[in-house]
Amino acid sequence: MEWIFIRHGETEDNIEKVFAGWTDSKLSEKGKRQVKAVANKLHEELQGKDQIRIYSSPLHRTKVLAQAVEERLNQDRETKKVQSSYMEDLKEVHFGIFEGLNQRDIVKRYPREWQLLMENYGNYSIPEGETLEAFHQRVINVLDKIQAEGNEEVTRLIITHGGVVQSALVHLLDLSMESRWHFSIPNTGIVKIEVVKGFGILKSICPPME
């Protein structure tokens, strides 16, 4: 079973280092160029694949990429059209009251909450947000649901966020949740994993599109 995970293109919030988990960030000009480059790259690499399914977070920055990839992949297909499914559980971790703020503003407005997060990152629930552990379990559950759809020959394209890709890596490679910090997922980084009889193999991590 082939999994391909793609993080969305660069956003204005990425540039400003804003905590934007569920916030609908706009793509930067570079991010817009990256979307076209990823769509072209996947079209080239997946030619000849008959069974492809796209699963995407419904947020704007991921939806734009999913639509571009779907359109590009279908340009040469008269039958077996590729379609995108949008799944709420593929959204990034919810940062609660930190949403829309950078670290400087968070420390200024919510010093106590920031300190609590730094002291217990995995288990602290940011007010109005979710814990890292709850987020990780959410991702595991949706990946198991996606895995159950279709057969082993289906290539699953997951267009999502950096935190989701980190959780997917440690889940499919049977690593501890803390191992996620060994993986840095850049905008439009592409991660390929093959799962054979339940055994996950990291095939490649491609650099971001420029």
Residue 103 lies in a domain: no
Residue 169 lies in a domain: yes
Residue 9 lies in a domain: yes
| Residue type present at position 29 | E
**With bands split at pLDDT 50, 70 and 90, how would you rate the model's confidence at 208?**
confident
Which residue is associated with the tokens 């699953």?
A: 156
pLDDT digits (tens, 9 = 90+) for 45-74: 998 888 999 999 999 999 999 999 999 999
The conformation of residue 209, written as its DSSP 8-state character, comes to P
Looking at residue 77, its pLDDT comes to 82
Residue 107 lies in a domain: no
Of 118-122, 123-127, 133-137, least confident by mean pLDDT is 118-122
d(CA 132, CA 138): 10
What's the whole-number average pLDDT of the chain?
A: 94
d(CA 96, CA 100): 9
Residue 195 lies in a domain: yes
pLDDT at 159 over 80: yes
Residue 191 lies in a domain: yes
CATH number at residue 159: 3.40.50.1240
Domain range enclosing 146: 2-18+27-94+130-206
Name every residue whose Cβ is closer than 8 Å to that of residue 112 and which is 6 or more positions away in sequence: none
Which residue is associated with the tokens 């379990």?
A: 137
d(CA 40, CA 47): 11
pTM for the model stands at 0.95
Residue 104 lies in a domain: no
The conformation of residue 167, written as its DSSP 8-state character, comes to H
Are the C-beta atoms of 6 and 158 separated by less than 8 Å? yes
Point out which residues pair with 196 in neighbouring strands.
199
Residue 115 lies in a domain: no
Q: Per the structure, how many domains does the chain have?
A: 1
